[in-house]
Amino acid sequence: MSQSILQLEPQSIWKQFADLNAVPRPSKKEEKVIAFMMDFGENLGLETFKDEVGNVIIRKSASRGFENRKMVTLQSHLDMVHQKNADTEFDFDVQGIQMYVEGDWVKAKGTTLGADNGLGVATIMALLKSTDIPHPPLEALFTIDEETGMTGAFGLKGGILEGDILLNLDTEEDDEIDIGCAGGIDVTAKRNYNEKSSVHGDIGFEIQVKGLNGGHSGIEIHKGLGNANKIMNRLLYSGSKYNMRIGALEGGGLRNAIPRESWCKVNLDKTQEAAFLDELELVVTHLKKELKVTEPKLSITIAPCKPSKKVMGLGVQEKLIKSLYAAHNGVYTMSALIPDLVETSNNIARVQVKDGEILINSLTRSAVETAKMDLANALKATFELAGFEVDFKGSYPGWNPNPDSEILKITKNIYKDLFKEEPKVVACHAGLECGILGQNYPNMDMVSFGPTILGAHSPDERVSISSVQKFWKFLLKVLGETPVK
């Protein structure tokens, strides 16, 4: 890690962020970071405990003169998306994030940075450790597994939290105050296939799609970014007319990350080689022209390789390629209530063909529950027609906006006073935990805000240093003006 990070202001936040990022914390593997956070609270002499699913709660009494204020629950999630560039050697289970400073940005070397939501966690840690910041009674809620199921928020039972106001620190534009978010559901399609022996005389080709931006499948789904799985499938669709046979396919990864890379190995009759390559080169030309603005670094290579010994049968292969072509990816509908807000979308996040098994993972999001299920059912019907078994799991609700919120009015006024402009009061297409937490805590008044983070869920993730300073100034002012009980 670059030591210059520790010199950044506010040092109290960056010191905690550096300590946090030294601890491995991929989703569903949060044991080390849970222990880290428990030790942090206990070493400060604060009330610290863990609930039955692994969420960590730490409470701190009000500073002098703030004892009559409403308790504020500060909430962020401990886990991070683990994505890396293909040429980066990194083990998220054992290594800490390697950070560096570039201009106004803090970045990571070839991996996700973990600013989502590590900056929120570090900010709360700085407040808990402080001795000179005026504040109301504080309750820190550090949830687990937000990125791959929100199981921490789902598992938090009613009656544990004592706060009246919840400040979620997981919004990624510093001029926004968020009061609503989309819900989501995981759509998984699976089927088996019989492997066939390759035909004598076949030749092999390895197709690679790389260089895409990737990013957050909610926040950035409207940008028209390339999806590596859809791009690869378009190549395979065009190539299939030449008796091409798939040997193996691996594209994408986590459901909440727009897939950046895909790899496929195919066999081909040597007599079809020239026509096959001409066809695919034409498709590559079209794709690069279509995506030249949004994906200028798109790279597609088609290189000879050793042919696969086993390949997919033509019947199943046709159903796979056609169902992926038909399956919706990207924005489905825009909100009729909130200008420029995506209402419903889908991300075809992962496609894997290996050893007689096909796996397709998607994440469907919507601010409207019935619309979410409508698109999920459309995907289900598409894949079932191709012989897949389709499961729905991990459904979580959206967060309904409350424009009359007391804490919203306070934060809006403070923002305007500090920065001499109106904040953007928004609902986002990402999944925040507020909607889930609100099910067991319906009377808790909630807003979400945070520093500017770009490229979340991709190795291009970066956080603005000046934005962290702005966010810290805003948060301290909010804590100093919370309402009385």
- 146 carries an active-site annotation: yes
DSSP string, 320-347: HHHHHHHS--EEEEE-SSSTT-EEEEEE
Domain 3-182+399-480: assigned CATH number: 3.40.630.10
* pLDDT of 143 higher than 60: yes
Q: Which residues are 350's β-sheet partners?
A: 252, 361
Average confidence (pLDDT) over 69-87: 95
Burial profile 470-484: b = 16 or more Cβ within 10 angstroms, e = fewer: bbbebbbebbeebee
Considering the entire predicted model, what is its pTM?
0.80
What's the pLDDT tens digit per position in 32-70? Answer: 999 999 999 999 999 999 999 999 999 999 999 999 999
Average confidence (pLDDT) over 72-88: 94
Whole-number pLDDT of residue 200: 65
DSSP string, 442-478: TT-EEEE----EESTTSTT-EEEHHHHHHHHHHHHHH
Which residue among the candidates 116, 146, 173, 295 is catalytic per the annotation?
A: 146
Whole-number pLDDT of residue 199: 76
Average confidence (pLDDT) over 326-348: 94
* pLDDT of 460 higher than 90: yes
Which residue among the candidates 79, 164, 261, 433 is catalytic per the annotation?
A: 79
* pLDDT of 1 higher than 60: no
Whole-number pLDDT of residue 2: 64
CA-CA-CA-CA dihedral for 454, 455, 457, 461, to nearest 10: -80
What's the pLDDT tens digit per position in 344-376? Answer: 999 999 999 999 999 999 999 999 999 999 999
Whole-number pLDDT of residue 48: 98
* pLDDT of 384 higher than 60: yes
Q: Which amino acid is at 166?
A: L
Q: Which of 176, 36, 149, 80 is nearest to 471 (CA)?
A: 176
Q: Write down the domain spans for the chain.
A: 3-182+399-480, 185-396
CB 440 within 8 A of CB 158: yes
Residues near 339 by Cβ (< 8 Å), separated by ≥ 6? Answer: none
Whole-number pLDDT of residue 222: 95
What's the pLDDT tens digit per position in 397-431? Answer: 889 888 899 999 999 999 999 999 999 999 999 88
What's the pLDDT tens digit per position in 177-222? Answer: 999 999 999 999 999 999 999 876 789 999 999 999 999 999 999 9
CATH assignment of 185-396, among 3.30.1330.90, 3.40.50.10860, 1.25.40.10, 3.30.70.360: 3.30.70.360
